[in-house]
Amino acid sequence: LTRAKRVLEIGMFTGYSAIAMAEALPDDGQVVACEVDAYVAEFAQQCFSESPDGHKILVKVAPALVTLKELADQGEVFDLVFIDADKTGYVDYLNLLLETDLLAPNGLICVDNTLMQGQPYVSGKATANGCAIALFNQAVVDNPLLEQVLLPLRDGLTLIRRV
């Protein structure tokens, strides 16, 4: 779809997605994974060391916004960004990606959990995460510089690109 060589993952957890993306990359590809939890990052790193594609994954342990700002300051650019982190941070992550050059000109942003078990659409009964996703979804729709499609797979996957 994108012929991505450089992938940024915001929110790694066990590393399952990072490994899957690394396996799909060419030999010179790289996944930079942002993870706030050092214990989880160490666990995932052990799994990466057993994979033939694990060497393609670089884990950055810090709050995602801190890592994103550092990467932007270093001039890093990514073809694909996968967001699956704290839902209350989604709008901030999107804004930072759009305000910097982190996302390549023809880059794609994939955002997980954008249906969140229907939470964004249950007025008055939504959880904090459901409300955060509702705000994120609206921010994407309201931005005239973006086009998006929400795929109704499991908890929803939204694909976003600049117009």
HSE-CB at 87 with a 13 A cutoff on CA atoms is: 19
29: burial class by Cβ within 10 Å (0-12, 13-18, 19+)? middle
Q: Which two tokens mark 79?
A: 């073809």
- pLDDT band for 8, please (50, 70, 90 cuts): very high
Please state the rounded mean pLDDT for residues 28-39: 97
Of 114, 75, 72, which is closest to residue 97 (Cα–Cα)?
72
Can you give the pLDDT at residue 160? 98
Q: Residue ranges of the domains in the chain? A: 6-162
Can you give the pLDDT at residue 117? 87
What are 47-87's pLDDT values in tens digits?
999 999 999 999 999 999 999 999 999 999 999 999 999 99
DSSP state of 110: E
DSSP lists the bridge partners of residue 110 as: 82, 159
Please state the rounded mean pLDDT for residues 95-107: 96
Average pLDDT, the chain: 95
Can you give the pLDDT at residue 122? 81
What are 104-123's pLDDT values in tens digits?
999 999 999 999 988 888 87
- pLDDT band for 152, please (50, 70, 90 cuts): very high
- pLDDT band for 136, please (50, 70, 90 cuts): very high
Is the pTM higher than 0.85? yes
CA 61: distance to chain centroid? 15
Q: Note the CATH architecture for domain 6-162.
A: 3-Layer(aba) Sandwich (3.40)
CB atoms within 10 A of CB 139: 14
Task: Check: CB of residue 48 under 8 Å from CB of residue 16.
Answer: no
